[in-house]
Amino acid sequence: MTGTKEISYIEAARREKLEALVARGIEPFAYRYERTHTAREALEAYQGEEGGGDEDVSVSVAGRIVALRPHGKSTFMHLGDHTGKIQVYFKRDDLGDEAYDLLKLMDLSDHIGVRGSLMRTRTEEITVRAEHVELLAKSLRPLPLGKEDADGRRHGLLADAETRYRQRYVDLAVNSDVREVFQLRATVIRLMRRFFDERGFTEVETPVLQPLYGGAMALPFITHHEALNAQLYLRIADELYLKRCIVGGLDRVYEICHDFRNEGVDRLHNPEFTMLEFYQAYADYTDMMSVLEALVSGIVHEVRGSLQINDFGTTLDFSVPWRRVDYAELFQQHAGISVFGSDAELRARLRSHDDAVDVDGMSRAKMLDEVFKVFVEPGLTQPTIVRDHPIEISPFAKSKRGEPRLTERFEFFVNGIELANAFSELNDPDDQRRRFEILAAAREADMAPVNVIDEDYIRALEYGMPPTGGLGLGVDRFVMLLSGRSNIRDVILFPALKSKE
């Protein structure tokens, strides 16, 4: 027992075994182990015929004990690692009394290393016949490994979502499908990098701590730098710094970055999240549509083996080209009012949905955004590009050619969720200054902290930014889609949670 911490009977029994191991001079927490094969590689290495064995194949495997069945002078065990599991057969005559008796001090979830030859048992299971066993790490808490039935299905595994998110290490250890989600996530990010590297983009890194926050309409996290005696913000987007790179002559740039927004937490929002942003000089938002289609459809096909995803009660078809539809058309069709209607019409429409909502203090930009979220987004199931947003909600997009009340902006929706946002980037410094002023007024009306005008960014534009297309894609939400998950916490290893206290 350590300190004053209360421990269970099971933990106490494991600690007694720990003390017994130490008393025998056995190190219960090893420094390293020479593993030659994973469980999968060992299974693949077996070359014996049906019902026989090939004792010429020697392996050294390591992992957790996930099943343990002692039978007097012999013991069967299953050893699990990140690739699967393999059976191990221990026999007193093979190991000797001292090594065999060591098994009595081992428990489910212990990490061990086993060296031996491959064989096939009478039940046709490929098995390591142990010649040497070594304890690598004693498990002082039992993992909720559950029970396995005759069909190999496990029951009683960790299922409580709250515990799974708080103790992700346990979740990963006992749920192979959870490990697969994060392996898929790593694959997606690798494919994104390959996509842009092959197209001549340069991956860059921009500041996480920023003297001014910008690039989106969101609340920041605020911190203080002691040495500089300065208030700083965790970035809400990396847009403005990436466009500074465009000004400097890096014509194609991308960043896969963490952003931070001090706002609500729900199934689609975590305060720390991952974004892909990329910018291309001499392009506009129509070029961004083509790039996004190639990126997303290519990754969907590579990781799912098809352009169709069937995990959400319907078939989502990513065959290109995707549907393209005007923001104003959807607004009129689903909300029943014009996007150019009065503020009073917007307030009335929001109240018709929820008469308790406080709309009197909302800016026009906020009301437009809320009406679209409430009445339009839920119906955007198939991959859809929604284009040409009102200027009030698009402070960094160029005005639409021929219709100055709209902008050359699009959002990409699937299954009622926004995955991407793109612009023909605003490169007129005087127009950008006016937009900053409009944005500051809107934030003040919505009782949000008002960031001052980013004079350095305007100065960068005054040096001249070429026509540029830019896009941001939510990596977490994209992985949700690809893995068939409906909660962002399922695709973030360590999501933000309220304190239990």
3-state secondary structure 115-141: EEEEEECCCCCEEEEEEEEEEEECCCC
CA–CA distance from 190 to each of 78, 265, 308 (Å)? 33, 27, 21
* pTM check: above 0.85: yes
179 vs 168: CA distance, rounded Å: 10
Whether the CB-CB separation of 291 and 192 falls below 8 Å is answered with no
pLDDT at residue number 369:
94
CA–CA distance from 100 to each of 73, 93, 136, 270, 365 (Å)? 8, 9, 16, 50, 73
Whether the CB-CB separation of 218 and 445 falls below 8 Å is answered with no
pLDDT at residue number 436:
86
Q: 223 in helix, strand or coil?
A: strand
Q: Which residues contact 163 (CB under 8 A, 6 or more apart)?
A: 170, 171
Q: Tokens 């402070």 correspond to what residue?
A: 395
pLDDT at residue number 152:
58
Q: How many residues does the chain have?
A: 501
pLDDT at residue number 339:
96
Quick one: 71 exposed, middle or buried, by C-beta within 10 A (0-12, 13-18, 19+)? exposed
pLDDT at residue number 52:
47
CA 106 to chain centroid: 36
Closest CA to 281 of 243, 247, 241, 251: 251
All structural domains of the chain: 9-142 (2.40.50.140), 178-490 (3.30.930.10)
**pLDDT per residue rounded down to tens, the chain (501 residues):** 444 466 789 999 999 999 999 999 999 999 999 999 999 999 999 975 443 445 579 999 999 999 999 998 999 999 999 999 999 999 999 999 999 999 999 999 999 999 999 999 999 999 999 999 999 999 999 999 876 665 656 656 688 888 999 999 999 999 999 999 999 999 999 999 999 999 999 999 999 999 998 888 788 999 999 999 999 999 999 999 999 999 999 999 999 999 999 998 999 999 999 999 999 999 999 999 999 999 999 999 999 999 999 999 999 999 999 999 999 999 999 999 999 999 999 999 999 998 888 888 888 989 999 999 999 999 999 999 999 999 999 988 999 999 999 999 999 999 999 999 999 999 999 999 998 887 777 666 655 655 668 999 999 999 999 999 999 999 999 999 999 999 999 999 999 998 876
